[in-house]
Amino acid sequence: MRRVTSSDRSAPSESNPKATEALRPIDADYQSIFENANVGLYRSALDGRLVRANPALAILNGYASEAEMLEDLRHNGNEWYVDPGRRAEFHRLMAQQQSVRDFVSQVYRMKSRERIWVSEKAWTVRGPDGQTLFYEGVVEDITDRVKADAELAAARIAAEAASEAKSTFLAVMSHELRSPLNAIIGFSEIIANRIYGPDDPRYFDYAEDIHASGTQLLSLIEDILDMSKIGAGHMQLRETTVSVPNLATSVLRLFAANASKAQLALTMQFPDHYPVLRGDPVRLKQVLTNLVANAVKFTPPGGSVMVGGDQTADAVRFWVADTGPGMTPEECARAVEPFVQVHDSMTVHMGGTGLGLPISRDLIALHDGTLTLDSAKGAGTRVIVALPRGRVV
Protein backbone atom coordinates (compact mmCIF):
# COMPACT_ATOMS: atom_id res chain seq x y z
CA MET A 1 0.00 0.00 0.00
CA ARG A 2 1.34 3.40 -0.97
CA ARG A 3 2.18 5.40 2.17
CA VAL A 4 1.93 9.17 2.08
CA THR A 5 4.88 11.11 3.51
CA SER A 6 5.19 14.59 4.93
CA SER A 7 6.15 15.82 1.44
CA ASP A 8 2.99 14.60 -0.35
CA ARG A 9 0.08 15.37 1.99
CA SER A 10 -1.45 17.92 -0.36
CA ALA A 11 -5.03 17.74 -1.60
CA PRO A 12 -5.76 16.18 -5.00
CA SER A 13 -4.89 18.34 -7.98
CA GLU A 14 -7.57 20.93 -8.82
CA SER A 15 -6.57 20.56 -12.49
CA ASN A 16 -7.92 17.00 -12.67
CA PRO A 17 -11.72 17.18 -12.10
CA LYS A 18 -12.17 13.56 -13.27
CA ALA A 19 -9.89 12.35 -10.50
CA THR A 20 -11.67 14.56 -8.00
CA GLU A 21 -15.03 13.13 -9.06
CA ALA A 22 -13.67 9.58 -8.90
CA LEU A 23 -12.43 10.09 -5.35
CA ARG A 24 -15.97 10.53 -4.04
CA PRO A 25 -17.38 7.77 -1.77
CA ILE A 26 -17.79 4.32 -3.24
CA ASP A 27 -21.19 3.46 -4.75
CA ALA A 28 -23.71 2.14 -2.25
CA ASP A 29 -23.99 -1.13 -4.20
CA TYR A 30 -20.44 -2.01 -3.19
CA GLN A 31 -20.39 -0.37 0.25
CA SER A 32 -21.32 -3.59 2.08
CA ILE A 33 -18.53 -5.56 0.39
CA PHE A 34 -16.06 -2.76 1.11
CA GLU A 35 -16.96 -2.55 4.78
CA ASN A 36 -17.26 -6.27 5.54
CA ALA A 37 -14.29 -7.67 3.65
CA ASN A 38 -11.80 -9.46 5.93
CA VAL A 39 -8.81 -8.14 3.97
CA GLY A 40 -7.66 -4.54 3.70
CA LEU A 41 -8.97 -2.52 0.75
CA TYR A 42 -7.80 0.95 -0.18
CA ARG A 43 -7.94 3.69 -2.78
CA SER A 44 -5.20 6.28 -3.12
CA ALA A 45 -4.74 9.43 -5.18
CA LEU A 46 -1.95 9.66 -7.73
CA ASP A 47 0.06 11.82 -5.34
CA GLY A 48 0.08 8.93 -2.87
CA ARG A 49 -2.55 10.31 -0.49
CA LEU A 50 -4.77 7.59 0.95
CA VAL A 51 -8.39 8.59 0.42
CA ARG A 52 -10.34 5.44 1.32
CA ALA A 53 -9.57 2.52 3.62
CA ASN A 54 -12.03 -0.16 4.67
CA PRO A 55 -12.42 -1.21 8.34
CA ALA A 56 -10.17 -4.25 7.91
CA LEU A 57 -7.28 -2.07 6.71
CA ALA A 58 -7.82 0.40 9.54
CA ILE A 59 -7.74 -2.43 12.10
CA LEU A 60 -4.68 -3.97 10.43
CA ASN A 61 -2.87 -0.67 11.00
CA GLY A 62 -4.03 -0.31 14.60
CA TYR A 63 -6.84 2.22 14.18
CA ALA A 64 -10.44 2.08 15.35
CA SER A 65 -11.87 3.57 12.15
CA GLU A 66 -11.11 4.81 8.67
CA ALA A 67 -11.55 8.42 9.80
CA GLU A 68 -8.97 8.04 12.57
CA MET A 69 -6.51 6.44 10.19
CA LEU A 70 -6.87 9.09 7.46
CA GLU A 71 -6.58 11.91 9.99
CA ASP A 72 -3.42 10.44 11.51
CA LEU A 73 -1.82 9.97 8.11
CA ARG A 74 -2.74 13.51 7.11
CA HIS A 75 -0.80 14.87 10.07
CA ASN A 76 2.05 12.40 10.50
CA GLY A 77 2.63 10.55 7.22
CA ASN A 78 4.99 7.87 8.59
CA GLU A 79 6.62 5.50 6.17
CA TRP A 80 5.00 2.05 5.91
CA TYR A 81 7.67 -0.29 4.56
CA VAL A 82 10.40 -1.46 6.94
CA ASP A 83 12.79 -1.61 3.99
CA PRO A 84 12.62 1.84 2.33
CA GLY A 85 13.59 0.30 -0.99
CA ARG A 86 10.31 -1.63 -1.16
CA ARG A 87 8.33 1.53 -1.85
CA ALA A 88 10.46 2.37 -4.89
CA GLU A 89 10.13 -1.23 -6.09
CA PHE A 90 6.34 -1.07 -5.67
CA HIS A 91 6.08 2.06 -7.83
CA ARG A 92 8.52 0.70 -10.39
CA LEU A 93 6.32 -2.36 -10.87
CA MET A 94 3.16 -0.25 -11.01
CA ALA A 95 4.67 1.98 -13.71
CA GLN A 96 5.94 -1.01 -15.67
CA GLN A 97 3.00 -3.40 -15.34
CA GLN A 98 0.13 -1.18 -14.18
CA SER A 99 -0.40 -3.67 -11.33
CA VAL A 100 1.36 -5.83 -8.75
CA ARG A 101 0.46 -9.23 -7.32
CA ASP A 102 1.78 -11.07 -4.27
CA PHE A 103 4.00 -8.15 -3.30
CA VAL A 104 5.24 -9.46 0.05
CA SER A 105 6.88 -6.99 2.42
CA GLN A 106 7.57 -6.39 6.08
CA VAL A 107 5.72 -3.24 7.14
CA TYR A 108 4.88 -1.23 10.23
CA ARG A 109 1.42 -1.07 11.72
CA MET A 110 0.99 2.65 11.15
CA LYS A 111 -0.24 3.51 14.64
CA SER A 112 1.87 1.24 16.87
CA ARG A 113 4.90 0.77 14.54
CA GLU A 114 4.77 -2.97 15.26
CA ARG A 115 6.35 -4.98 12.45
CA ILE A 116 4.16 -7.36 10.47
CA TRP A 117 4.22 -9.06 7.07
CA VAL A 118 1.69 -8.28 4.34
CA SER A 119 0.96 -9.37 0.79
CA GLU A 120 -0.29 -6.65 -1.57
CA LYS A 121 -2.21 -6.66 -4.80
CA ALA A 122 -2.71 -3.31 -6.49
CA TRP A 123 -3.84 -1.94 -9.84
CA THR A 124 -4.22 1.30 -11.76
CA VAL A 125 -7.75 2.61 -12.44
CA ARG A 126 -8.21 4.64 -15.62
CA GLY A 127 -11.04 6.78 -16.97
CA PRO A 128 -12.82 6.26 -20.34
CA ASP A 129 -10.17 8.40 -22.05
CA GLY A 130 -7.35 6.27 -20.64
CA GLN A 131 -6.23 8.86 -18.13
CA THR A 132 -5.01 7.42 -14.80
CA LEU A 133 -7.47 8.37 -12.06
CA PHE A 134 -6.26 6.57 -8.92
CA TYR A 135 -4.84 3.38 -7.51
CA GLU A 136 -6.69 0.61 -5.69
CA GLY A 137 -5.39 -2.36 -3.82
CA VAL A 138 -5.84 -5.26 -1.44
CA VAL A 139 -3.66 -5.81 1.64
CA GLU A 140 -3.57 -9.13 3.52
CA ASP A 141 -1.79 -9.72 6.83
CA ILE A 142 0.35 -12.85 6.31
CA THR A 143 2.46 -12.60 9.48
CA ASP A 144 1.31 -16.00 10.75
CA ARG A 145 2.05 -17.59 7.37
CA VAL A 146 5.54 -16.10 7.21
CA LYS A 147 6.20 -17.24 10.77
CA ALA A 148 4.96 -20.75 9.95
CA ASP A 149 7.15 -20.85 6.83
CA ALA A 150 10.17 -19.76 8.88
CA GLU A 151 9.46 -22.44 11.50
CA LEU A 152 9.06 -25.04 8.77
CA ALA A 153 12.37 -23.99 7.21
CA ALA A 154 14.08 -24.14 10.61
CA ALA A 155 12.61 -27.61 11.22
CA ARG A 156 13.84 -28.75 7.81
CA ILE A 157 17.34 -27.43 8.56
CA ALA A 158 17.27 -29.14 11.96
CA ALA A 159 16.17 -32.41 10.36
CA GLU A 160 18.94 -32.17 7.78
CA ALA A 161 21.45 -31.42 10.55
CA ALA A 162 20.19 -34.41 12.53
CA SER A 163 20.55 -36.63 9.48
CA GLU A 164 24.05 -35.34 8.89
CA ALA A 165 24.91 -35.86 12.57
CA LYS A 166 23.62 -39.43 12.35
CA SER A 167 25.77 -40.10 9.29
CA THR A 168 28.76 -38.55 11.02
CA PHE A 169 28.09 -40.62 14.13
CA LEU A 170 28.00 -43.86 12.12
CA ALA A 171 31.17 -42.96 10.25
CA VAL A 172 33.04 -42.01 13.41
CA MET A 173 31.83 -45.04 15.35
CA SER A 174 32.75 -47.35 12.48
CA HIS A 175 36.33 -46.10 12.63
CA GLU A 176 36.69 -45.69 16.39
CA LEU A 177 35.23 -49.10 17.23
CA ARG A 178 36.86 -51.03 14.40
CA SER A 179 40.44 -49.93 15.13
CA PRO A 180 40.73 -51.25 18.71
CA LEU A 181 38.56 -54.27 17.94
CA ASN A 182 40.85 -55.24 15.06
CA ALA A 183 43.83 -54.92 17.40
CA ILE A 184 42.16 -57.04 20.08
CA ILE A 185 41.11 -59.75 17.60
CA GLY A 186 44.44 -59.79 15.77
CA PHE A 187 46.71 -59.93 18.82
CA SER A 188 44.50 -62.40 20.67
CA GLU A 189 44.57 -64.77 17.65
CA ILE A 190 48.35 -64.60 17.59
CA ILE A 191 48.51 -65.47 21.29
CA ALA A 192 45.78 -68.16 21.11
CA ASN A 193 47.40 -69.93 18.14
CA ARG A 194 50.94 -69.59 19.51
CA ILE A 195 52.09 -68.41 16.08
CA TYR A 196 55.61 -67.59 17.38
CA GLY A 197 55.92 -70.74 19.47
CA PRO A 198 54.81 -71.52 23.01
CA ASP A 199 56.94 -69.01 24.94
CA ASP A 200 57.72 -66.04 22.68
CA PRO A 201 58.15 -62.84 24.78
CA ARG A 202 56.25 -60.82 22.19
CA TYR A 203 53.03 -62.29 23.59
CA PHE A 204 53.43 -60.08 26.67
CA ASP A 205 53.62 -56.98 24.46
CA TYR A 206 50.54 -58.11 22.57
CA ALA A 207 48.68 -58.61 25.84
CA GLU A 208 49.48 -55.02 26.76
CA ASP A 209 48.19 -53.89 23.36
CA ILE A 210 44.97 -55.84 23.93
CA HIS A 211 44.57 -54.18 27.34
CA ALA A 212 45.14 -50.71 25.86
CA SER A 213 42.66 -51.35 23.05
CA GLY A 214 40.07 -52.67 25.51
CA THR A 215 40.55 -49.60 27.71
CA GLN A 216 40.06 -47.38 24.64
CA LEU A 217 36.82 -49.19 23.79
CA LEU A 218 35.57 -48.89 27.36
CA SER A 219 36.30 -45.15 27.40
CA LEU A 220 34.44 -44.69 24.12
CA ILE A 221 31.42 -46.65 25.35
CA GLU A 222 31.37 -44.65 28.62
CA ASP A 223 31.40 -41.39 26.63
CA ILE A 224 28.47 -42.56 24.50
CA LEU A 225 26.56 -43.64 27.62
CA ASP A 226 27.23 -40.27 29.25
CA MET A 227 25.93 -38.45 26.17
CA SER A 228 22.82 -40.65 26.20
CA LYS A 229 22.18 -40.08 29.92
CA ILE A 230 22.59 -36.33 29.61
CA GLY A 231 20.38 -36.17 26.51
CA ALA A 232 17.67 -38.20 28.25
CA GLY A 233 17.90 -36.14 31.45
CA HIS A 234 19.03 -39.17 33.47
CA MET A 235 22.44 -37.88 34.54
CA GLN A 236 22.38 -37.31 38.31
CA LEU A 237 25.02 -35.28 40.15
CA ARG A 238 26.37 -36.51 43.48
CA GLU A 239 27.29 -33.21 45.06
CA THR A 240 29.69 -32.62 47.90
CA THR A 241 32.44 -30.11 48.66
CA VAL A 242 35.06 -29.87 45.92
CA SER A 243 38.53 -28.35 45.82
CA VAL A 244 39.18 -27.60 42.15
CA PRO A 245 42.95 -27.02 42.68
CA ASN A 246 43.20 -30.49 44.25
CA LEU A 247 41.32 -31.99 41.29
CA ALA A 248 43.64 -30.15 38.91
CA THR A 249 46.72 -31.48 40.70
CA SER A 250 45.41 -35.03 40.39
CA VAL A 251 44.59 -34.60 36.69
CA LEU A 252 48.00 -33.11 35.85
CA ARG A 253 49.67 -36.13 37.48
CA LEU A 254 47.73 -38.39 35.09
CA PHE A 255 49.20 -36.58 32.09
CA ALA A 256 52.72 -35.98 33.40
CA ALA A 257 54.26 -38.88 31.46
CA ASN A 258 52.44 -38.08 28.23
CA ALA A 259 53.37 -34.39 28.50
CA SER A 260 57.02 -35.23 29.12
CA LYS A 261 57.06 -37.54 26.10
CA ALA A 262 55.45 -34.80 23.99
CA GLN A 263 57.93 -32.19 25.34
CA LEU A 264 55.15 -30.10 26.91
CA ALA A 265 55.26 -28.06 30.10
CA LEU A 266 52.34 -28.66 32.48
CA THR A 267 51.70 -25.88 35.00
CA MET A 268 48.99 -24.83 37.45
CA GLN A 269 48.02 -21.33 38.56
CA PHE A 270 45.27 -20.82 41.15
CA PRO A 271 45.12 -17.74 43.40
CA ASP A 272 45.39 -17.99 47.16
CA HIS A 273 42.07 -18.51 48.94
CA TYR A 274 40.42 -19.99 45.86
CA PRO A 275 37.01 -21.02 47.21
CA VAL A 276 35.79 -24.52 47.93
CA LEU A 277 32.74 -25.31 45.78
CA ARG A 278 29.69 -27.51 45.98
CA GLY A 279 29.57 -29.95 43.07
CA ASP A 280 30.09 -33.48 41.83
CA PRO A 281 33.85 -34.15 42.18
CA VAL A 282 33.78 -37.14 39.81
CA ARG A 283 32.12 -35.15 37.02
CA LEU A 284 34.23 -32.03 37.55
CA LYS A 285 37.36 -34.18 37.41
CA GLN A 286 36.00 -35.74 34.21
CA VAL A 287 35.66 -32.24 32.74
CA LEU A 288 39.22 -31.29 33.71
CA THR A 289 40.51 -34.59 32.33
CA ASN A 290 38.79 -34.01 28.99
CA LEU A 291 40.08 -30.45 28.72
CA VAL A 292 43.67 -31.32 29.63
CA ALA A 293 43.62 -34.35 27.31
CA ASN A 294 42.57 -32.15 24.40
CA ALA A 295 45.17 -29.53 25.24
CA VAL A 296 47.97 -32.12 25.46
CA LYS A 297 46.86 -33.83 22.26
CA PHE A 298 46.71 -30.69 20.12
CA THR A 299 49.68 -28.73 21.47
CA PRO A 300 52.90 -29.17 19.45
CA PRO A 301 56.23 -30.12 21.08
CA GLY A 302 57.83 -27.30 23.05
CA GLY A 303 54.46 -25.83 24.00
CA SER A 304 52.71 -25.57 27.34
CA VAL A 305 49.42 -26.45 29.01
CA MET A 306 48.22 -24.53 32.06
CA VAL A 307 45.32 -25.16 34.43
CA GLY A 308 44.24 -22.10 36.39
CA GLY A 309 41.37 -20.29 38.01
CA ASP A 310 40.05 -16.91 39.08
CA GLN A 311 36.92 -15.20 40.32
CA THR A 312 34.59 -12.56 38.92
CA ALA A 313 31.71 -10.68 40.50
CA ASP A 314 29.27 -13.34 39.30
CA ALA A 315 31.24 -16.55 38.98
CA VAL A 316 34.09 -18.76 40.13
CA ARG A 317 36.09 -19.90 37.12
CA PHE A 318 38.67 -22.49 36.22
CA TRP A 319 40.27 -22.90 32.82
CA VAL A 320 42.71 -24.93 30.73
CA ALA A 321 44.95 -22.96 28.36
CA ASP A 322 47.32 -24.27 25.73
CA THR A 323 49.73 -22.91 23.13
CA GLY A 324 48.28 -25.04 20.33
CA PRO A 325 47.18 -23.93 16.85
CA GLY A 326 44.05 -22.15 18.06
CA MET A 327 40.69 -21.87 16.31
CA THR A 328 38.54 -19.34 14.49
CA PRO A 329 35.14 -18.37 15.99
CA GLU A 330 33.45 -20.68 13.48
CA GLU A 331 35.71 -23.57 14.48
CA CYS A 332 35.03 -22.89 18.18
CA ALA A 333 31.30 -23.21 17.53
CA ARG A 334 31.83 -26.53 15.74
CA ALA A 335 34.20 -27.88 18.38
CA VAL A 336 31.46 -28.16 21.02
CA GLU A 337 29.20 -30.21 18.73
CA PRO A 338 29.22 -33.99 19.30
CA PHE A 339 31.48 -36.10 17.04
CA VAL A 340 33.09 -32.99 15.51
CA GLN A 341 36.81 -32.35 15.51
CA VAL A 342 38.44 -29.26 14.08
CA HIS A 343 41.44 -30.37 12.06
CA ASP A 344 44.25 -28.62 10.29
CA SER A 345 47.37 -29.96 8.61
CA MET A 346 49.00 -30.55 12.01
CA THR A 347 46.11 -32.23 13.86
CA VAL A 348 44.36 -34.17 11.11
CA HIS A 349 45.88 -37.49 12.28
CA MET A 350 45.13 -37.04 16.01
CA GLY A 351 41.99 -39.20 15.95
CA GLY A 352 39.34 -39.27 18.65
CA THR A 353 35.56 -39.07 18.71
CA GLY A 354 35.07 -35.38 19.41
CA LEU A 355 32.92 -36.12 22.49
CA GLY A 356 35.15 -34.54 25.16
CA LEU A 357 34.07 -30.92 24.80
CA PRO A 358 30.32 -31.58 24.31
CA ILE A 359 30.21 -33.87 27.36
CA SER A 360 32.17 -31.33 29.40
CA ARG A 361 29.86 -28.51 28.34
CA ASP A 362 26.78 -30.54 29.32
CA LEU A 363 28.25 -31.62 32.67
CA ILE A 364 29.01 -28.00 33.53
CA ALA A 365 25.47 -27.01 32.48
CA LEU A 366 24.20 -29.55 35.04
CA HIS A 367 26.18 -27.52 37.59
CA ASP A 368 24.34 -24.35 36.39
CA GLY A 369 27.55 -23.13 34.80
CA THR A 370 28.91 -22.37 31.34
CA LEU A 371 31.80 -23.62 29.23
CA THR A 372 33.23 -21.20 26.65
CA LEU A 373 36.17 -21.22 24.27
CA ASP A 374 38.54 -18.28 24.03
CA SER A 375 40.73 -18.91 21.03
CA ALA A 376 42.35 -17.34 18.00
CA LYS A 377 44.12 -18.91 15.05
CA GLY A 378 47.81 -19.25 15.88
CA ALA A 379 47.36 -17.97 19.44
CA GLY A 380 46.31 -21.07 21.38
CA THR A 381 43.05 -21.89 23.13
CA ARG A 382 41.66 -21.33 26.61
CA VAL A 383 38.58 -23.29 27.66
CA ILE A 384 36.86 -21.43 30.51
CA VAL A 385 34.42 -23.00 32.96
CA ALA A 386 32.33 -20.54 34.99
CA LEU A 387 30.28 -21.75 37.96
CA PRO A 388 27.82 -19.47 39.77
CA ARG A 389 28.90 -17.95 43.06
CA GLY A 390 25.95 -19.71 44.65
CA ARG A 391 28.11 -22.86 44.56
CA VAL A 392 30.73 -21.39 46.86
CA VAL A 393 30.68 -23.23 50.18
143-197 pLDDT per residue, tens = 999 999 999 999 999 888 778 777 776 776 776 778 788 889 999 999 999 999 9
Torsion of CA 288, 289, 291, 294, to 10 degrees: 170
Q: Are residues 304 and 378 in the same domain?
A: yes
pTM score over 0.75: no
63-79 mean pLDDT? 86
Q: Which residue would you say has higher pLDDT here, 74 or 362?
A: 362
pLDDT value at 115 more than 90: yes
204-229 mean pLDDT? 85
Q: Are residues 170 and 127 in the same domain?
A: no
DSSP 95: H
CB 385 within 8 A of CB 287: yes
pLDDT of residue 151: 94
Strands (E), the chain: 40-44, 50-53, 99-108, 115-126, 132-141, 240-242, 265-269, 277-279, 304-311, 315-322, 370-375, 381-388
User: Which of residues 186, 214, 232 is at a domain's end?
Assistant: 232
Measured between alpha carbons, how far apart are the two ends of the chain, in Å? 63
Q: Is residue 10 part of a domain?
A: no
Q: Are residues 383 and 246 in the same domain?
A: yes
What's the pLDDT band for 108 if we cut at 50, 70, 90?
very high
- 108 Rama sector, left if φ>0, alpha if ψ -120 to 50, beta otherwise: beta
Q: Strand 370-375 and strand 277-279: pairing?
A: unpaired
User: Which of residues 232, 248, 265 is at a domain's end?
Assistant: 232
pLDDT of residue 199: 87
Q: Are residues 119 and 161 in the same domain?
A: no
pLDDT tens digit string along 234-280? 888 999 999 999 999 999 998 998 899 999 999 999 999 999 999 99
Q: Are residues 39 and 127 in the same domain?
A: yes
pLDDT tens digit string along 364-393? 999 999 999 999 999 999 999 999 999 999
pLDDT of residue 231: 78
Q: Is residue 11 part of a domain?
A: no
Q: Tell me, what CATH number does 210's domain have?
A: 1.10.287.130
Q: Is residue 39 part of a domain?
A: yes
Flag the least confident range among 3-7, 118-122, 277-281, 310-314: 3-7
pLDDT of residue 384: 97
Q: Tell me, what CATH number does 375's domain have?
A: 3.30.565.10
Residue 65 structural domain: 17-141
| Separation of alpha carbons 187 and 207, rounded Å | 7
Q: Is residue 2 part of a domain?
A: no
| Separation of alpha carbons 241 and 275, rounded Å | 10
Question: Domain total for the chain?
Answer: 3
Q: Are residues 195 and 271 in the same domain?
A: no
Query: Read out DSSP for 198-237?
Result: TT-THHHHHHHHHHHHHHHHHHHHHHHHHHHHHHHT----
CB 336 within 8 A of CB 357: yes
Q: Are residues 206 and 275 in the same domain?
A: no
Q: Are residues 247 and 283 in the same domain?
A: yes
Helix, strand, or coil here: 61? coil
| Average pLDDT for the chain | 86
Nearest to 209 by CA among 185, 244, 177, 237: 185
**Of 78-87, 95-104, 230-239, which one has max mean pLDDT?**
95-104
pLDDT of residue 48: 74
Among residues of the chain, what percentage have pLDDT more than 90?
Answer: 54
Q: Is residue 12 part of a domain?
A: no
Q: Is residue 6 part of a domain?
A: no
DSSP 67: H
User: Which of residues 205, 232, 259 is at a domain's end?
Assistant: 232
Q: What are phi and psi of 376, to 5 degrees?
A: -145, 145
pLDDT tens digit string along 4-56? 443 343 344 444 555 555 445 556 667 888 888 999 999 988 877 888 999 99
pLDDT of residue 75: 82
CB 111 within 8 A of CB 61: yes
Task: Say how many residues make up the chain.
Answer: 393
Q: Is residue 5 part of a domain?
A: no
pLDDT value at 338 more than 90: no
Residue 325, number of CB atoms within 10 A of its CB: 22
Q: Are residues 346 and 379 in the same domain?
A: yes
pLDDT value at 316 more than 90: yes
Q: Would you call 223 exposed, middle or buried from its count of C-beta atoms within 10 A (0-12, 13-18, 19+)?
A: buried
Q: Are residues 200 and 180 in the same domain?
A: yes
Helix, strand, or coil here: 370? strand
Nearest to 202 by CA among 211, 213, 191, 192: 191
219-229 mean pLDDT? 82
Q: Are residues 274 and 313 in the same domain?
A: yes
Q: Are residues 251 and 380 in the same domain?
A: yes
